[in-house]
Structure 1
Amino acid sequence: MLRPRYRPGWVASWIGTKKSPLDCEDFYTQSAGKCMDAVRIANNQQVMIKKVWTTYSPQETEIGQYLSSSEMAAKPGNHCVPILDAFKMPGYSDLELLVMPLLRRFEDPPFRSVGEVIPLFKQAFEGIQFMHKHHVAHRDCTDVNILMDPSGMYPLGFHPGETVLALGSGTRLAKHYTRRERPPKYYLIDFGHSRRYNPEDGIPAEIPLGGADRTVPEFKGEGTTRPANPYPTDIYYLGNFIKERFMMKFTNFEFMTDLVKNMTQDDPSK
């Protein structure tokens, strides 16, 4: 079920009143162009619906469903976003809709200590190791594709269009626990660039794709047209994520220096 703003016949609630639009729940929109928030009627769960054009992301639905199947979901180390449902869009041959839990950015709300960050690192490593173990390369595991399951920290939910606000409100702040009180689970999302490989075919090699992180050494110069093993690139992405989002901004992450240097070497074969 969509929010009132996105239902047929919607009329803005501030029309004809003295209310400021900023104080109204239906003023706030979903900023992600490919996504729409909703509520799953069966259990009242907040969800996100994503458009997938199969012409551009041919394996996204298949990989997402594979990694979140009941068999895979039960395995330790799986930090791939669950696909709750998937269906084809009527009238389109190349458009599918994926239903996933509503998540938050990994750093929202802000971390309060180094100790709160460690589970993020650990789970990101576990998640990419899990994908590689099952012969899937993410190929864009950067900061924009690492999200947090907020259900424990925000038991009453939050406004999907303005996450500081309470669910259904344009004025009240969303109440939440800290990460220490309710440790969250972190997820890798967006398998639009991902590929699943047959191990019998040997080491995979792919032409680079333009992900969110454009600093990958093997993608520079002639590397833009040279096929490369995508697994080491995933390792670089995670290492550079830690370096740029934490080590370059905050103190007390020196203990990650050696590991991050190894993860971000210029030579991906090392």
Structure 2
Amino acid sequence: MEYAIVKEENRHQERDDGLLFTYEEIWVRHFHFLASRGYQLRPRYNPDWVPSWRLKPVKYGSGKNEDAIPAWPKVVDAICLTNGQRVMLKHVELSSEELSIMTYVNTPAALEDSRNHCVRLMDVILLPACETHALVVTPLLYEHSALPFRYVGELVEISIQIIECLDFLHDHNIVHRDFCKFNVMVDGERLIPGGWHPFDPRAPPDGRHDKLSRFKWVDRRSTGPHAYYLIDFGYSKRLESRDGALLTGIYGQDDSVPEMSLTVPYDPYPVDVYHVGNMLLKFYGEYRPCGSLERLKEVAQKMAHKDPSSRYTAQEASKEIHRVCRKIGYFRRRQRIWPDDPIFDTFFRFLVRIGVINPL
């Protein structure tokens, strides 16, 4: 099957013109091929696309141009034509370990492990006439931090799952190397009943931000339990042993790990622990202190200790978070937490409680 051609007039020319960025052109070229494999991309990537704002006198940027919302580099959303499920496609390098690790954590044996909260691999697509890259297909998930946490139990839930996942990976000699905020997702189907736009998490599927198409969501507690997932294994490594493992390089969203270095080898396992602990500390720090959060915080502080030899191992952190969370009983998990922001005064909290407003 031949590549489709990108129209010259649809290529990005100037700032905020809503047209195709260079990194998006791959999806136009493979539009028909992916349809033949059962995956329908958005109209933006149809080779015959005519931007909607050229057809109607609506100014681009008015919030009514869904086809102006770009994908991110290497990833795009699609609809599975066999069942209508929304999915994500990612362009991965075959020279990396990303595909092999994703395949490994999705084997039947690995999926039987309750600690395995890695993103599910639905399909692998080999690209025509390409020996360097492939596409991996995963379910469409939601950015876990795009909606606020409102109860202690919600933070308990995510804390347990991500630390369990870290323990699972390390138990299989896998280091993620970027176990950070934007690589933790949640199944958002129940949280956002009307759906969301894959590349605008606070917009409905049509991408509009006007009053006629409002983005609506509900509390995690009222729709739980929720499944959180780890994504993006682009920097990940599967090592032969836990003993004597040394790597170099500064990887990931969080470069504050004290021992990471371009030249001095370090143990990557404590780096993963630091990443998760530091992420959790930031979660807890966004809310006004309370006794239950302080207990969770103590675990995260031990994970993010500056001295790697003083940190918990993933297994120790998993045991400790389970121990701490058992002490946070039913009623404490139902305790309301509020962002550490002066706007959340008594009257504002009252309006939130009775459902008059639902702030993000």
The normalised TM-score by structure 1 is 0.89
**Does residue 261 of structure 2 align to residue 215 of structure 1?**
no
Match of 2:114 in 1: 76
**d(CA) in 1 for partners of 2:144 and 2:132?**
31
**d(CA) in 2 for partners of 1:67 and 1:238?**
19
Q: Percent identity?
A: 33
The structure 2 residue matched to 1:179, chosen from 198, 220, 224, is 220
Deviation of 1:175 after TM superposition, in Å, equals 3.5
Structure 2, unpaired ranges of 5+: 1-39, 311-360
**Does residue 51 of structure 2 align to residue 4 of structure 1?**
no
**Does residue 233 of structure 2 align to residue 206 of structure 1?**
no
Alignment of 1:39-78 (within 5 A): 39-55=79-95, 58-78=96-116
Deviation of 1:49 after TM superposition, in Å, equals 0.8
Residues 146, 188 of structure 1: 8 Å contact kept:
yes
Alignment of 1:88-103 (within 5 A): 88-103=126-141
**d(CA) in 2 for partners of 1:115 and 1:95?**
41
Structure 1, unpaired ranges of 5+: none
| Deviates further, 258-267 or 241-250 | 241-250
Deviation of 1:188 after TM superposition, in Å, equals 1.0
Amino acid at match of 1:42: T
The structure 1 residue matched to 2:302, chosen from 243, 262, 266, is 262
Match of 2:69 in 1: 28
Residues 247, 254 of structure 1: 8 Å contact kept:
no
Residues 152, 182 of structure 1: 8 Å contact kept:
yes
Deviation of 1:35 after TM superposition, in Å, equals 0.7
**d(CA) in 2 for partners of 1:50 and 1:175?**
28
Residues 101, 238 of structure 2: 8 Å contact kept:
yes
Amino acid at match of 2:85: Q
Cα deviations by residue, 1:40-98 (Å, 9 ceiling, x for unpaired): 1121111111111234xx10011011112233223211110111111222232211111
Amino acid at match of 1:41: L
Match of 2:281 in 1: 243
The structure 2 residue matched to 1:189, chosen from 231, 236, 242, is 231
Superposed CA RMSD: 2.0
The normalised TM-score by structure 2 is 0.68
**d(CA) in 2 for partners of 1:267 and 1:162?**
38
**d(CA) in 1 for partners of 2:138 and 2:194?**
18
Structure ID, larger Rg: 2
Deviation of 1:102 after TM superposition, in Å, equals 1.1
The structure 2 residue matched to 1:136, chosen from 167, 170, 174, is 174
Residues 164, 173 of structure 1: 8 Å contact kept:
no
Deviation of 1:99 after TM superposition, in Å, equals 0.9
Deviation of 1:186 after TM superposition, in Å, equals 0.9
Amino acid at match of 2:178: D
Residues 235, 251 of structure 2: 8 Å contact kept:
no
**Does residue 119 of structure 2 align to residue 104 of structure 1?**
no
Residues 65, 83 of structure 1: 8 Å contact kept:
yes
